[in-house]
A and B are shown apart, each in its own frame.
Chain A
Amino acid sequence: MRALRLDAIEVIGWVSLAVVVALYFADRGLSGWTTAAGALKNAGILAGLVATDLMCLTLLLAARIPFVDKAMGHDRALGKHGDLGTWVLSAVLVHGTFLTLAYALGDQTPVWTEFVDLLGFGDYALAVIAGALLLGVAVTSIFLSIKKHLPHELWWGVHLLTYVAVALSIPHQFTMSDMFATGWARAYWIGLYCVSGFALLAFRVLLPLFSSLEHRLVVTSVRHEAPDCVSITMTGKNLHKLDAKAGQFFHWRFLAPGLWWHQHPFSISAAPNGALRITVRSLGKGTAQLMDVKPGTSVFIEGPYGIFSDAARTKDAVVLLGSGVGIAPVRAVLEETETVPGRSLVVLRASTPDGLYLYDEFAMLCAQRGVQLVTLIGRRGSGWTPASHDGLRLADLAPWVADADVFVCGPEAWTDAVLADAQAAGVPSSQIHAERFTW
């Protein structure tokens, strides 16, 4: 089912590209490519059409459409969102430069003069501003070296300028070209924008808002697992209607002074039976503040998102591996998923024993259900295991791993190493379930 959904999404993406190319040929046909100016103009127009189409796909991937989330998980959708974003930028740059060059060649004027002349045409100026804004968004998002140094809220503010860029770019598409003046092309283009805008509004803004107002989550207890780690339990109305599965995550916004203006993604760390619990480690300024959350605080949520849950199970055997922030969703999935003694394994990885928070709960659950529990503590080695266990492989711990579902959640590099080991051990990709928490 998941594979079918994924296929559907990829087909829709490629067909949308085919549509814009078809629109180009329907409007301009095959002519114009024989002169330099004509070829530049045609290529520039094509690039612009492709840019808008890819931009809409990018927006749809970030819109948190349930169909998309169920197909690939929100984390992967955001990854593709970022990949497409770089293509959007390239297409926009090609579009702008090629068309300006084409006009300059056609008018036999220097490019700069042509550019300044064109700026007099209002909608062109708006489009140039849009391009500049998009460049700013891209530079702060694509280059991780820059993104790392920005406070998250500042990066987010810049990123939202994309909406402004899209809005400013719309007028010139309708006034500087005849392509969308009338007919099917016009209907399609307007429809494309409407669908994207509607999806964003519905699934990113309205649905979470209504959900938060309906369920009215409130913090009921805060328990310190370790000096730098708390479990926050929340209850609300009709939580069963959220249909959350253990292992899924929400975006949480605690409505308290200093906390209300930022939200964080956390997986629930226990099965959602009448209450939602998250386990948070203090890793930065934002999470440090969460250590002091008081019972009675209201919480706004967005979610549930993610496919890291029992719903992804395909086999009767299971291996769960968690490290760092990934321990929480692993703990949740363990509680809700079926396990067979002798064919179920939990592996917890930490640099120091302090990093094994929720260990007591793991030990109890595993003892009750006959699940093998392995803890690997120590400095990093060459792979995903500690240096003291260099060379230890998944297949050593679970010889039956190729017939098992493998759930992995943890820091990026560690997760990659585990997945590499799993693939080497012959685990098919349909049985591998990983969740990544990169921004």
Chain B
Amino acid sequence: MSTRAKAAAILASAGVFATVWNVSTASSQTVTTPATTTTATTTTTTTTVTATPTTVESSTATTSTDTGSATTLKDGTYTGITETHRYGSVTVTVTVADGQITKISEDVVSDGDHHSDMINERSIPAIESEVLAANSADVSTISGATYTTQAFLDSLQSALDQAA
């Protein structure tokens, strides 16, 4: 590859990254980020797919740490990445106040199977109360609902990473 081509490729790729990053962070600004200090809740459970891909940390956040129980959580509302599993996907939004998880809501997409809907209905409230009790994602999955609850915990963890 000639020098000119190498330079053009590097510049163009950098431009692509910057553009995609800006577009995706801009479209997720409707969800409150750590920078704003509101405690307003955002998403409620719906059965539609999340409209925009959710992004992760702002420039001040570090890479994901382990369980959130050891570190203090910053106040705010955070949405985790959408975790897809075999029977659908889960996107968790968590609200932290005074270092405690006070509210959890999630966007659950089911594959349409009645069986999946039943599992979602049963397991989501259960895992929510476990998380609230432990104040972290460091809880075990619900048996019989492994995929759903594991995806839930993964999404929750990525949300809590933003609060670290």
Contacts and interface: CB of A to CB of B under 8 A. Distances in A.
Interface in B8-31: 8-9, 12-13, 16-17, 19-21, 23-24, 27
Contact of B84 (A15, A38, A176, A183): A176
A114 to B, nearest CB: 10
B69 interface: no
A83 interface: no
A11 B5 contact: yes
A8 to B, nearest CB: 8
B120 to A, nearest CB: 16
A178 B111 CA distance: 12
B51 A182 contact: yes
Interface string A6-43: 11001100110111011101111111111000100000
Given A10-B1, A178-B89, A31 B64 contact: yes
Contact of B16 (A18, A108, A177): A18
A7 B4 contact: yes
A11 B12 contact: yes
Contacts, number: 108
A283 interface: no
Contacts of A178: 49-50, 53, 82, 84, 89, 109
B24 A26 contact: yes
Contacts of A18: 12-13, 16-17
B43 interface: no
A107 B154 contact: no
Interface string A167-202: 000000000111101111100000000000000000
Contacts of B13: 14-15, 17-18
A20 to B, nearest CB: 10
A184 B51 CA distance: 11
A121 B81 contact: no
B20 A118 contact: no
A26 B21 contact: yes
Nearest to A108: B146
A26 B20 contact: yes
Nearest to A176: B84
Contacts of A103: 86
Contacts of A11: 5, 8-9, 12
B50 to A, nearest CB: 7
A381 interface: no
A37 to B, nearest CB: 9
A29 B55 contact: yes
B46 interface: no
Contact of A29 (B57, B66, B147): B57
Contacts of A19: 16, 20
Contacts of B51: 182-183
Contact of B21 (A10, A25, A31, A118): A25
Nearest to B10: A14
A26 B53 contact: yes
B55 A26 contact: yes
B9 A107 contact: no
A15 B12 contact: yes
Contacts of A176: 84
A31 B137 CA distance: 14
A106 interface: yes
A3 interface: yes
A250 B23 CA distance: 46
A181 B82 CA distance: 12
Nearest to B82: A178
B56 A14 contact: no
A23 B17 CA distance: 9
B47 interface: no
Contacts of A3: 2
Given A32-B64, A34-B66, A38-B154, A27 B9 contact: no
A32 B158 contact: yes
Nearest to B53: A27
Find the residue from B4, B20, B157 having the highest chain A CB count within 10 A: B20
A6 B2 CA distance: 9
A434 to B, nearest CB: 19
B60 interface: no
A326 B30 CA distance: 65
B86 A22 contact: no
Given A27-B81, A31-B81, A32-B64, A10 B9 contact: yes
Interface string B52-81: 111111000001111000000000000001
Of all A-B residue pairs in the complex, the 4 with the closest CB atoms, nearest first, are A29-B56, A18-B13, A7-B5, A22-B20
9 contacts: A10-B9, A26-B21, A29-B54, A29-B55, A31-B81, A107-B147, A178-B50, A182-B49, A183-B53
Interface of A: 3, 6-7, 10-11, 14-15, 17-19, 21-23, 25-34, 38, 103, 106-108, 118, 121, 176-179, 181-185
